[in-house]
């Protein structure tokens, strides 16, 4: 029997996503499309015309084609028709949509074009606030060949939100292709010496990411670990507010806001600890990258994070929104280099065993192949 990826050789697969900034969902789309392309299928990624261009630049040189849709209002029959025409023109064998808007628009277009449809939800549940959106999402899920969630918690939420039986939601964990940096420029960039300990967080500066809690936790540590520094990589609406808070607390020279960075392996190689303070998550790619880098990890017990860290075997888990608990966990690892080193080693081993991008690609390849086998236009194996 052919391996899952070999069964897709020569097939054309369309990937649809409503945003193209440097977020986790976009990075996952890039990993899937580029990985499948390298394995022998032909891939098209359909992006918004008024986006940032980040995802298109990530796909440059991979052989993946990129086209752009226009969605200028919430309900756009013209966009739906264009998507249908594009799937037909491209000769797509599978349409794979990511997040709410493309789940609905992609679902309609795939249905019109008689193309099997897969939906992946990465954690955004903004369909849940309005009945109209919830009904649209329920229709999309009901007509899709497969509804995928990136975590078990999200799968349970989708089941409850959309009145879908739990077994009808498949969980596929995110995977990453990680190339570790042999050395880092980060410590020199920040002017840190060998006596300094550096904590690193990676994530956009939005309330749900919990960075305010992290700042409060770091302030608690200020006297016990006077040589410790905190670096936060990301951008977002809270940036100015958090910088002002750090200055007001007299920590402006010890808390470093790095902005948007594309060199995450470089950042991780220069850090002593990785911190994930999120209040809500699916399965964040930054966490997986920290695991691959062998960093000791302190993370909140949200989404699929506890499962990723083996229930605490490969990192310390704390309750979200609790600066005291987060501070105590960071203090524990800053004070015990042996435990920190052991947790980092366990994290790296677990990442290689479970979260390499090859596992994610094989899982999606099996989903595609199963749908094609059941579809009247599918290619038999």
List the end-to-end C-alpha distance of the chain, in Å, as a whole number.
Answer: 8
CATH code at 305?
Answer: 3.40.50.2000
| 106 and 200 part of one domain | no
**Residue 95 located in a structural domain:** yes
pLDDT at 377: 52
Does residue 138 sit within a domain? yes
Quick one: pLDDT band at residue 75, thresholds 50, 70, 90?
A: confident
Say yes or no: 62 and 110 in one domain.
yes
Instruction: Clarify whether residues 166 and 34 are in a common domain.
Output: yes
Whether 292 and 314 map to the same domain: the answer is yes
- Look at residue 1 and tell me if it is in a domain: no
Could you give the angle at the alpha carbon of 373 between the alpha carbons of 2 and 103, nearest 5°? 110
* Same domain (yes/no): 250, 302: yes
Q: Can you give the pLDDT at residue 128?
A: 67
Q: How confident is the model at residue 23 (pLDDT cuts 50, 70, 90)?
A: confident
- What DSSP string runs through 230-243? EEEE--STTHHHHH
Band of residue 281 on the pLDDT scale cut at 50, 70, 90: confident
Mind listing the pLDDT tens digit for each residue in 184-202?
999 999 999 999 999 999 9
pLDDT for position 376 = 59
Indicate the pLDDT class of residue 381, thresholds 50, 70 and 90: very low
Number of domains in the chain: 2
Residue 179's pLDDT is: 86
* Sequence-separated (6 or more) residues with CB below 8 Å from residue 262: 22
Q: Are residues 249 and 345 in the same domain?
A: yes
Mean of the per-residue pLDDT values of the chain: 93
| Domain match, 197 and 251 both | yes
The answer to whether position 62 is within a domain reads: yes
The predicted structure's pLDDT at residue 159: 92
Average pLDDT over residues 174-178: 90
Pair 128, 195 in one domain: no
The reported pLDDT for the residue numbered 1 is 46
**Rounded distance, CA 356 to CA 333, Å?**
26
Question: Can you tell me the mean pLDDT for 68-93?
Answer: 94
For residues 144 and 289, membership in a common domain is answered with no
Say whether both 130 and 69 belong to one domain.
Answer: yes
Residues 370 and 319 in one domain: no
Range of the domain at 278: 186-354
Mean pLDDT (whole number) for 225-246: 95
Residue 380 lies in a domain: no
**What is the per-residue pLDDT for 94?**
97
Strand order in the sheet with 146-149: 65-69, 42-48, 12-17, 94-98, 117-121, 146-149, 169-171
Query: Which residues neighbour 339 within 8 Å (Cβ) at sequence distance 6 or greater?
Result: 296, 332, 333
With a pLDDT cut of 70, the percent of the chain lying above it is 96
Please indicate, yes or no, whether residues 115 and 137 belong to a single structural domain of this protein.
Answer: yes
Q: 194 lies in a domain?
A: yes
215-231 pLDDT tens trace: 999 999 999 999 999 99
């Amino acid at each position: 029997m052919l391996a899952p990826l070999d069964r897709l050789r020569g097939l054309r697969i369309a990937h649809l996503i409503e945003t193209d900034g440097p977020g986790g969902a976009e990075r996952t789309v890039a990993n899937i499309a580029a990985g499948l392309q390298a394995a022998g299928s032909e891939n098209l990624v359909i992006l918004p015309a008024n986006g940032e261009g980040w995802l298109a630049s990530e796909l440059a040189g991979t052989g993946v084609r990129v086209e752009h849709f226009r969605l200028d209002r919430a309900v756009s029959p013209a966009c739906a028709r264009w998507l249908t025409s594009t799937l037909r023109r491209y000769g797509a064998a599978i349409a794979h949509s990511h997040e709410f808007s493309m789940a609905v628009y992609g679902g309609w277009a795939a249905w019109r074009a008689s193309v099997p449809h897969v939906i992946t939800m990465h954690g955004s549940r903004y369909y849940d606030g309005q009945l109209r959106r919830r009904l649209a999402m329920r229709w999309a899920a009901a007509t899709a060949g497969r509804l995928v969630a990136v975590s078990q918690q999200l799968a349970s939420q989708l089941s409850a939100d959309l009145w879908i039986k739990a077994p009808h939601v498949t969980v596929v964990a995110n995977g990453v292709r990680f190339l570790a940096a042999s050395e880092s420029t980060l410590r020199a960039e920040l002017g840190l010496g060998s006596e300094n300990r550096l904590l690193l967080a990676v994530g956009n500066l939005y309330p749900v990411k919990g960075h305010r809690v992290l700042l409060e936790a770091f302030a608690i540590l200020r006297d016990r670990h006077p040589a410790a520094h905190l670096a936060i990589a990301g951008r977002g609406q809270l940036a100015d507010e958090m910088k002002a808070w750090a200055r007001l607390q007299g920590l402006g020279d010890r808390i470093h806001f790095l902005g948007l960075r594309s060199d995450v392996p470089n950042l991780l190689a220069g850090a002593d600890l990785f911190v994930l303070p999120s209040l809500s998550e699916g399965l964040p790619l930054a966490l997986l990258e920290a695991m691959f880098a062998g960093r000791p990890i302190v993370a909140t017990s949200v989404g699929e994070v506890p499962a990723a860290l083996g229930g605490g075997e490969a990192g310390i888990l704390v309750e979200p929104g609790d600066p005291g608990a987060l501070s105590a966990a960071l203090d524990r690892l800053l004070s015990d280099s042996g435990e920190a080193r052991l947790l980092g080693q366990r994290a790296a081993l677990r990442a290689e065993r479970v979260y390499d991008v090859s596992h994610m690609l094989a899982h999606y390849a099996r989903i595609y192949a199963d749908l094609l086998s059941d579809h009247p236009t599918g290619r038999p194996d």
